[in-house]
Structure 1
Amino acid sequence: MRSFILRIKSAWRHHEFQVYVFESSALKKFVVVEIILGYLVYKTAFYLSHNDLLAGASSWAGTEGVKRLPVLIRRIAGV
């Protein structure tokens, strides 16, 4: 715990300006997959089940499935 506090205090002493760079393709991919696709899956699951909890879980599972789909296809194809 002491080392954590010392690290926090030393961070306050150094006045650094940090810049984070994002690629626009990564940002577009995030917006499309997480926000738009997640919303569509949520609305579809909510329409079918009329249950917020089930619709939220379906939205999470659907977006995670879409993100991991290319890895699954590569494994099946043996690439």
Structure 2
Amino acid sequence: MKLISYSYQKKGKMKAIYDRFSESPVIFCKINGYYFVYFVRWSENDPIVVTQDLVEMEIQLNEEMDTIEAYQNRKRSH
């Protein structure tokens, strides 16, 4: 899966599009310096989104936004 595009939204949210789910925009929120999936506007034309897909989406967007260190530190604390 590849991050195709992203854009800034209102109230600190981000919208991202991934090649595997090209018709299902993913909305992210930023908290504690990293982005996490807030919700997916899922389209029936795309495969079902599973937990591993969500994790991969978070990693890719956080790498793109240079917030991956904060994201990884969050993962270690759980």
Same fold (TM over 0.5): no
TM-score range, shorter chain: under 0.3
Structure whose alpha-carbon radius of gyration is higher: 1
Q: TM-score, normalised by structure 2?
A: 0.26
Higher strand share: 2
